[in-house]
């Protein structure tokens, strides 16, 4: 049970998985501060969440933006929860029809998904360390990876590298922050119905559907949020990456080429 003044910073909280997490936290009495890059999506998120939630415009990879968001969070209570859902999808072959993968784009993806996650963790942890412990805990940080961290498909070199980095830093972060009574956990979602997948072409979507096991459908954001809520409430979950994927194991993504 979190104290009554608990505040959560939810990055990427204006849509999709992040918005579902913000809703779940709000329902449990936690004040969500959602950080996102789009003012318009922020306004729409607040319409959905209500007056208790707070939106801050910013980029997770920008130190000043994250610092400002943390300052806002602390004005509304005690920061005990951080959920990192911000990130960008990306697909491009190492060598495509127009030549080699753009190096700048590779850097952009790692910056958004990996550097941005670490930036939030380091700045938020420093604030959490000042908290008075509640039930032998000062805070919980939940990061978001992807199945691509383990089974990246053709065209996912940059994306898989960025999410693999999130997975790889989970245990060392948890070990280091344990002394400050802060837990760090990562969730690796499979296929979920979010605005980010709305642009996936029908043929590509049908090919991904072939990897579904049980349940034979894409996940709902609230199911992701339910796992995050359980992690927050269960003090024995720490230093681990939890898959939430319905037993999906992604294929290389070459079915159409071989058929």
Query: Which residue numbers are catalytic?
Result: 159
DSSP letter assigned to residue 112: I
Look at residues 196, 193, 188 and name the one whose alpha carbon lies nearest to residue 152.
Answer: 188
| Nearby residues of 232 by Cβ (< 8 Å), 6 or more positions away | 2, 81, 140, 142
d(C-alpha 169, C-alpha 132), whole Å: 26
Q: How far is CA 46 from CA 23, 67, 150, 171, 199, in A?
A: 10, 21, 35, 34, 24
d(C-alpha 62, C-alpha 196), whole Å: 22
User: What are the backbone angles phi and psi of residue 146, rounded to the nearest 5°?
Assistant: -175, 160
Q: Euclidean distance between the first and final Cα of the chain, in Å?
A: 53
């Amino acid at each position: 049970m979190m104290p009554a003044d608990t505040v959560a910073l939810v990055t990427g909280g204006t849509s999709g998985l992040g918005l579902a997490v913000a809703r779940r936290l709000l329902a449990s009495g936690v004040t969500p501060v959602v950080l996102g890059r789009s003012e318009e999506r922020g306004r729409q998120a607040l319409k959905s969440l209500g007056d208790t939630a707070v939106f801050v415009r910013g980029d997770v990879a920008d130190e000043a933006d994250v610092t400002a968001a943390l300052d806002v969070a602390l004005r509304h209570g005690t920061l005990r929860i951080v959920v990192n859902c911000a990130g960008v999808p990306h697909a491009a072959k190492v060598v495509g029809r127009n030549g080699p993968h753009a190096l700048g784009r590779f850097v952009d993806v790692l910056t958004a998904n990996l550097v941005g996650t670490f930036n939030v963790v380091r700045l938020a942890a420093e604030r959490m360390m000042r908290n008075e412990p509640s039930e032998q805990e000062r805070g919980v940080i939940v990061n978001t990876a992807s199945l691509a961290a383990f089974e990246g498909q053709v065209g996912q070199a940059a994306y898989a590298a960025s999410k693999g980095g999130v997975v790889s830093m989970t245990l060392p972060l948890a070990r280091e922050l344990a002394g400050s009574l802060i837990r760090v956990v990562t969730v690796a979602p499979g296929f979920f119905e979010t605005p980010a997948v709305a642009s996936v072409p029908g043929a590509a979507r049908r090919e991904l559907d072939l990897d579904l096991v049980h349940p034979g459908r894409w996940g709902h954001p609230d199911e992701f949020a339910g796992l995050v809520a359980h992690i927050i409430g269960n003090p024995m979950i720490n230093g681990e990456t939890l898959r939430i994927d319905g037993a999906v194991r992604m294929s290389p993504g070459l079915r159409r080429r071989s058929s």
